[in-house]
Amino acid sequence: MAKRLGILTSGGDCPGLNAVIRGAVLKGETVHGQEFVGFLDGWKGLIEGNAITLDRRSVRGLSSQGGTIIRTSRVGPYREPDGGAENIKKRMKQLGIDGIIAIGGEGTASASKRLFEDGVNIVGVPKTIDNDLAATDYTFGFSTAVEIATEAIDRLRTTGNSHKRCMVLEVMGRHAGWIALFSGIAGGAHAILIPEQPETIEQISEWVRSVVHRGRAPMVVVAEGFKFPDMDEAHSTKGLDGFNRPRLGGIGEVLAPLIEEHTGIETRSTVLGHIQRGGAPSAFDRVLATRLGMAVTDLIADGGWGQMVALHGTNIARVDFAEALADLKTVPPESYADYRQLFG
């Protein structure tokens, strides 16, 4: 039975990471007699053998803290010259590590699947504020991101009303519109623009004019991956990230002047950016992250390598990495169409 385990957090930081670490260490030590180390800076720490001891004392009070105490990066496990499954297995043997708990999103799950297929004992915990992993109903971090975005909408509406301006808020989500949809609904936005549903500037302008005609200040929420119908790719001017994916962002700055040009209504854009990923996690995210951290130690105790824990309904389930990566979870057309009737 695996007794000494390494934990790493990879990819973008996310509220709730520390709660996962705490849940795993507390239950792993108490129930399964497991020992833990934390690899610093994600896969980079594993490749380089840079780790710290994680025990009850070191995880005390972590549930309410944002970020990750073992830090993260977008370095992949197959980075040359020290990466790759064989080098990682040698590093694990040097450190006496029986298996790895990888906490991350789609990129981390893909890397974990490849490592498992190459003979590395590894399990996963899904993490992303985007809520775009189909194998789990919700990911921790999403609730916090939505709350932060909703508060931003509330604040922007007051300044928009004061100046009779149209306010545009750009939120994260990559190619899934969940943050935009949930925060837009919660904040009473007059238009919600998501990657799954292109909209023309003419339609957006019609919604904005309709709001102004009722004596209101329009509030538009746009996801960073939103595209106009004539766009082949989401707006990106910031190069590639560590997983060779385009860094999205800036569509709000494109949209605002177009709205003003088409309507004559003064329009301002705000990009919420990394504020969505920072700070203390919500109560929901603390509970979900703790449950996932506890469950992953049970998974290891049962020898469930090559799997990750997930939320199905109100229950914690186990799914293979292959199943976890089968589909990107996007907003269903019927869900968007239902709320679209309320725009304008």
- Segments making up each domain of the chain, as ranges: 4-140+281-325, 144-276
> Residue ranges for the binding site for ATP?
12, 74-75, 105-108
Which strands make up the sheet holding 99-104, listed edge to edge?
A: 51-54, 35-39, 4-9, 99-104, 122-126, 307-312, 315-320
> Residue ranges for the binding site for Mg(2+)?
106
**Overall average pLDDT of the 21-44 stretch:** 97
* pLDDT per residue as tens digits for the range 174-233: 899 999 999 999 999 999 999 999 999 999 999 999 999 999 999 999 999 999 999 878
> Residue ranges for the binding site?
12, 74-75, 105-108, 128-130, 165, 172-174, 224, 268, 274-277
Q: Which residues make beta-bridge pairs with 4?
A: 35
Tokens 């040698």 label which residue?
A: 90
| pLDDT above 90 (res 74) | no
φ, ψ for residue 277, nearest 5 deg: -100, -10
3-state helix/strand/coil string of 107-130: HHHHHHHHHHHCCCCEEEEEECCC
CATH of 144-276, one of 3.40.50.300, 3.40.50.460, 3.30.465.10, 3.40.50.1370: 3.40.50.460
- Cα angle 247, 249, 253; round to 5: 150
**Overall average pLDDT of the 30-51 stretch:** 97
**Are 4-140+281-325 and 144-276 the same fold in CATH?**
yes
Per CATH, domain 4-140+281-325 is 3.40.50.970: no
pTM of the model: 0.93
User: How far apart, in Å, do the first and last CA atoms of the chain sit?
Assistant: 59
Give dist(CA 309, CA 117) in Å, integer. 18
- The segment with the largest mean pLDDT, out of 75-79, 249-253, 263-267, is 263-267
Extract the tokens encoding 210: 């309709």
- Give me the catalytic one of 13, 82, 118, 130: 130
Tokens 């989401």 label which residue?
A: 234
Extract the tokens encoding 191: 């238009």
130: annotated active-site residue: yes
**Overall average pLDDT of the 100-112 stretch:** 94
Extract the tokens encoding 103: 């906490």
Please give the mean pLDDT across all residues of the chain. 94
Closest CA to 267 of 210, 214, 208: 208
Give dist(CA 304, CA 27) in Å, integer. 17
